[in-house]
Structure 1
């Protein structure tokens, strides 16, 4: 009687909708009329699906429908959902909420796990707040504000950074006509992407997961090279240059995956600083490492970003996800880059840590850095970005002032409605 929809889907992309649904059902529950059952259930709950379509051909929102329908065919009395809206457009979120309300009215209990506090307030009848693995509060979320819920989560008062007044300088990061074919058969090709980020600017790029964010990040940071003139840092073409060379020119970056990409799990915190900071901070000379600089830098990150750790000699994997994220973000910001590219900056961190990271990004921008933030969190981007664009199916919309875009318009762009696929300032 328990159905579960996880944050990361458990679907086989080479199989059809019906085949994936069958894999999640008990042997006795799989009938010859499974296709008909899928159609009937999916339409009854406002989640239409074609049982014969391959998972590979579905959008992320449609893939989540497969997970939900698979649960519904088991007639669950309890449905558990973990961060269900992290990969959905605003319009898809509303469809999901209507489905959950219908299920609730039919007597199904729903356990909804999310860090998006406004969603909790909108959807839930009751909220339980966890902190440090313990229950610290039980409340009616409709009687709380997002701020009061966040303060219950962190156990202290919370202040959000104020939007900073933009004083834009020269173009620092310029991308012109970037088109790259993904080597991954399930990846996303980048299609004629053009934009620029000026000194003092935070440009936010939103999009549903799997629409080219990772591929764009890899090209910008030098993990994958492209035409030399497709990417420029301070007017210097760097498209063919590797990551180390781009760091020398002033670019730092924070990847989405913390362990394995942002940090080596088995290495200590101070050793992990060497991976990205040795070039800009002069930790290496004549083939020898200056360990004193590495230790001082690691201690500075821990103090500045309030990273909870017994010491910098401890392995990266010993930190919580939120503390490791703060350490990695701090490692890049404290190198005072002229260009910072960051993917999912506050993924998996609490509200207080997210506010600290946002404040640090704004301070860096005030100092003249050009910052590109790629995130699935619309609230985050709306709060810190000066200008805003949307990536969908490997194409980028024209960037516009953040305040000029409605959530509905952003949702349509995230869903693939490219009324204006533009090029902002990339001449």
Structure 2
């Protein structure tokens, strides 16, 4: 059988790193092929080469048995290659439909395209509003746009980079059904994920990369999470323990917090009530686009429209206080958007320190202490094992996972009283994810109150002391993690939380 795609000795070098070093890869028609590796292993560069976004320095690409030069993404799409990037390529000021139309023939009728988008999104359980502007979407909703755009092309090869990070367990199952159907119809799929259980459940073949080189090819269905981890990082992932911890006083709370829509496509918040105490992690589950973005804006101070008494920080009314005031009084924030909000792309890592560190070690008499910010950046790079060319490296030069480690580290070392975290390990490899979760637990043990929003339910079960769910701008009651199950939280994510929270021993998450 002729291979759908074959890469021979692909090499790509950058000034400070060899991203791909003589990489070989073979994908058959109808094969779901995983590419696994830690952050910075060279996976994304290799996928960009296949999609024509990056040109290799050496090597050969064979498409359906014939040598090709994929000069740009348009040439890739003509061949039948579609890709969903981890970092999205969407224009904020255009609608969903207008963004998708950019990759289609100029005579495409927008009204017809909107219908096709809505039908495809509904078919695959990825609900979208075609007329909505991208700047009003959450990260999760942007990922849905990218997936639907790729599926509309009916590709021969579909490249997916972390496609399930924003989906419920039910939606993941539906997506897997879709991918298996596509594969049965002859479509080849290159699947990048750090979720080892997904790779083992879905993929036929797995190519493992480390340091820009291929370290092995295996059938993931015959491997364990531990053996895949050893191939990927040379060891099993570091372990951390979630020890029971007695929480202290309430640090951050919301009382009947309601907010009208800030824009036509926002989610209205209705009667939000919760509290998070010192030495506690409160996990917030929910499908992206159900009010999490609006809640974080209200809690962080980016949206100061709330009534003063609707949000309390250490008992003080802060609902109408600006973000800078809350930050100065001990509130930390890790937003879900890494580039553009979590970090300024074209600034160095040291300069990005100033987004959250404005103390005597970084600013003195109104002047920036360049040595101070460089030392702080260096300490984060070393402690969190960030692969970067030093404190002066531009934020945009880092892989998604390494930039995430840096942003989380920047907030953790501040030792805030309260830390709001959105998607702490999105797109982060298994070893780095374990480190980040361990750091969050250590911060909890030191008395910090943490509110963690994540679509990774396994992550929330691992680190949270209590869980709540957001659905359509409303918030469920809280439930102790020890009394919750994936099935229960999955039902609550649909807004069904009128049943008792306590469940039988046989249904508990740790028995699943």
1:4 counterpart = 2:82: yes
Q: Deviations over 1:153-192 (max 9, x none)?
A: 2233322211122211111111111112232322222222
| Pairing of 1:167-178 with structure 2 (within 5 A) | 167-178=246-257
Paired with 2:327 and 2:116, the residues of 1 have a C-alpha distance of 55
Paired with 1:38 and 1:333, the residues of 2 have a C-alpha distance of 41
Q: What is the aligned partner in structure 2 of residue 92 from structure 1? A: 171
Paired with 1:27 and 1:286, the residues of 2 have a C-alpha distance of 56
Q: Following TM superposition, by how much is the alpha carbon of 1:201 offset from its aligned partner in structure 2, in angstroms?
A: 0.5
Q: Following TM superposition, by how much is the alpha carbon of 1:256 offset from its aligned partner in structure 2, in angstroms?
A: 1.4
The question of whether the paired residues in 2 share the 8 Å contact of 1:385 and 1:402 is answered with: yes
Helix, strand or coil at the partner of 1:336: coil
The question of whether the paired residues in 1 share the 8 Å contact of 2:117 and 2:130 is answered with: no
Q: What is the aligned partner in structure 1 of residue 349 from structure 2? A: 269
1:246 counterpart = 2:326: yes
Structure 1 unmatched ranges of 5 or more: 423-427
Say if 1:36 and 1:306 are closer, same or farther in 2 by CA, change over 3 A: closer
Paired with 2:497 and 2:414, the residues of 1 have a C-alpha distance of 37
1:379 counterpart = 2:461: no
Please report the TM-score for the alignment, with normalisation by the length of structure 2: 0.70
Structure 2 unmatched ranges of 5 or more: 1-78, 502-512
Q: Following TM superposition, by how much is the alpha carbon of 1:149 offset from its aligned partner in structure 2, in angstroms?
A: 1.8
Q: Following TM superposition, by how much is the alpha carbon of 1:296 offset from its aligned partner in structure 2, in angstroms?
A: 3.3
| Pairing of 1:98-247 with structure 2 (within 5 A) | 98-225=177-304, 226-247=306-327
After superposition, the CA RMSD in angstroms is 3.8
Q: Following TM superposition, by how much is the alpha carbon of 1:253 offset from its aligned partner in structure 2, in angstroms?
A: 1.0
Q: Following TM superposition, by how much is the alpha carbon of 1:49 offset from its aligned partner in structure 2, in angstroms?
A: 10
Q: What is the aligned partner in structure 1 of residue 390 from structure 2? A: 311
| Pairing of 1:357-372 with structure 2 (within 5 A) | 357-372=436-451
Helix, strand or coil at the partner of 1:408: helix
Please report the TM-score for the alignment, with normalisation by the length of structure 1: 0.82
Q: Deviations over 1:105-159 (max 9, x none)?
A: 3444333332222111111121122334432221111121223323322233322
Helix, strand or coil at the partner of 1:277: coil
Say if 1:300 and 1:38 are closer, same or farther in 2 by CA, change over 3 A: closer
Q: What is the aligned partner in structure 1 of residue 339 from structure 2? A: 259
Q: Following TM superposition, by how much is the alpha carbon of 1:292 offset from its aligned partner in structure 2, in angstroms?
A: 4.5
Say if 1:165 and 1:133 are closer, same or farther in 2 by CA, change over 3 A: same
Paired with 2:207 and 2:443, the residues of 1 have a C-alpha distance of 36
Q: Deviations over 1:75-125 (max 9, x none)?
A: x54444333322322112212222333333344433333222211111112
> Between Structure 1 and Structure 2, how many residues are aligned?
410
Paired with 1:38 and 1:286, the residues of 2 have a C-alpha distance of 55
Q: Following TM superposition, by how much is the alpha carbon of 1:5 offset from its aligned partner in structure 2, in angstroms?
A: 5.7
Helix, strand or coil at the partner of 1:85: coil
Q: Following TM superposition, by how much is the alpha carbon of 1:245 offset from its aligned partner in structure 2, in angstroms?
A: 1.4
The question of whether the paired residues in 1 share the 8 Å contact of 2:361 and 2:373 is answered with: no
The question of whether the paired residues in 2 share the 8 Å contact of 1:91 and 1:408 is answered with: no
Helix, strand or coil at the partner of 2:325: helix
Say if 1:137 and 1:184 are closer, same or farther in 2 by CA, change over 3 A: farther
Helix, strand or coil at the partner of 2:207: strand
